[in-house]
C-alpha cells in the first residue's frame, strides 16, 4: 500500500477529489493532509472523509523537522501538493526524491514561478491573449514550477473567455487528470 500525504493551503477541492478517488483503492491511500493554514477549508473536507489533517506553521514547513516527523508517523511514501502555497525546502526532496508531485494551473513553462497561482495565472493567460491553457503535473524541485514535467492537458481559451471561464475549464482538467496520473505514478504504470 502506497501512502500519500497531501499538502494544501486552501479550500481543498483537489485534495477532496484525490481522497475520494482513492477511498477504496487496493494500492493507494491518502494517509494524512498537512496545511500551513489553520482556517483552510481542506480541514473540514478531510474531517468529513475521516482523513487526519493537521496545521503546521510556515516555520515548521521551512525547517522540515516537525513535518517530516508527522509524515513518518503516517508512513507516507509520496507527497502530493494540491493548492499548497509554500516553497518546498530541499530537505523534503532529500527524504522523498522524485516522490513529491505538484499540479500547476497552466501549461508550464509559461505562467509559472513565484506568485503565479490560482486566479493570478488565469488572469495572466487571458491578458496574454493565449488561445489555450491547461494543467501541468510535475515533480517538485527547489524552484517554483521548474521540476520535470510528468503530464500536461490542454483546454481552449476563447477570445471572450474571462479568467473565471478559464479557471472553470482548468479545474475540470485538474479533477479529471490529477488522480489518474497519481495512480499511474504510484503503481508504476507511467
Helix (H) or strand (E) holding 28: strand 28-35
What pLDDT score was predicted for residue 141? Answer: 93
Please tell me whether residue 54 adopts helix, strand or coil conformation.
strand
Please tell me whether residue 72 adopts helix, strand or coil conformation.
helix
| Mean pLDDT of the region 141-168 | 96
Burial class (CB in 10 A: 0-12, 13-18, 19+), 90: exposed
Active site residue 25: no
Would you report the helix, strand and coil content of the chain in percent, each value rounded to 5?
A: 40, 20, 40
pLDDT tens figures, 20-65: 999 999 999 999 999 999 999 999 999 999 999 999 999 999 999 9
Given 43, 74, 104, 122, the catalytic residue:
104
What pLDDT score was predicted for residue 46? Answer: 97
pLDDT tens figures, 68-120: 999 999 999 999 999 998 889 999 999 999 999 999 999 999 999 989 999 99
**Read out DSSP for 88-152?**
PPHHHHHHSTT-EEEEESS-TTTT-STT--HHHHHHHHHHTT-SEEEEEEEE--SSTT-SPEEEE
What pLDDT score was predicted for residue 190? Answer: 64
**Cα-based distances in Å from 17 to 56, 59, 63, 67, 79:** 22, 28, 29, 23, 16
pTM value?
Answer: 0.95
Amino acid at each position: 500500500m502506497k501512502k500519500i500525504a497531501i499538502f494544501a493551503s486552501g479550500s481543498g477541492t483537489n485534495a477532496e477529489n484525490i481522497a475520494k478517488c482513492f477511498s477504496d483503492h487496493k494500492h493507494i491511500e491518502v494517509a494524512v493532509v498537512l496545511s500551513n493554514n489553520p482556517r483552510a477549508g481542506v480541514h473540514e473536507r478531510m474531517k468529513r472523509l475521516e482523513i487526519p489533517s493537521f496545521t503546521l506553521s510556515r516555520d515548521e514547513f521551512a525547517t522540515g523537522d516537525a513535518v517530516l516527523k508527522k509524515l513518518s508517523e503516517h508512513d507516507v511514501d509520496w507527497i502530493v501538493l494540491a493548492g499548497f502555497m509554500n516553497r518546498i525546502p530541499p530537505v523534503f526532496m532529500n527524504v522523498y526524491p522524485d516522490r513529491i508531485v505538484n499540479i500547476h494551473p497552466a501549461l508550464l513553462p509559461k505562467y509559472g514561478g513565484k506568485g503565479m497561482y490560482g486566479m493570478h495565472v488565469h488572469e495572466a493567460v487571458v491578458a496574454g491573449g493565449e488561445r489555450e491553457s491547461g494543467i501541468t503535473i510535475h515533480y517538485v524541485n527547489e524552484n517554483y514550477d521548474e521540476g520535470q514535467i510528468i503530464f500536461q492537458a490542454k483546454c481552449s481559451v476563447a477570445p471572450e473567455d474571462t479568467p473565471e471561464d478559464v479557471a472553470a475549464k482548468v479545474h475540470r482538467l485538474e479533477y479529471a487528470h490529477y488522480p489518474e496520473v497519481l495512480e499511474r505514478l504510484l503503481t508504476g504504470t507511467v
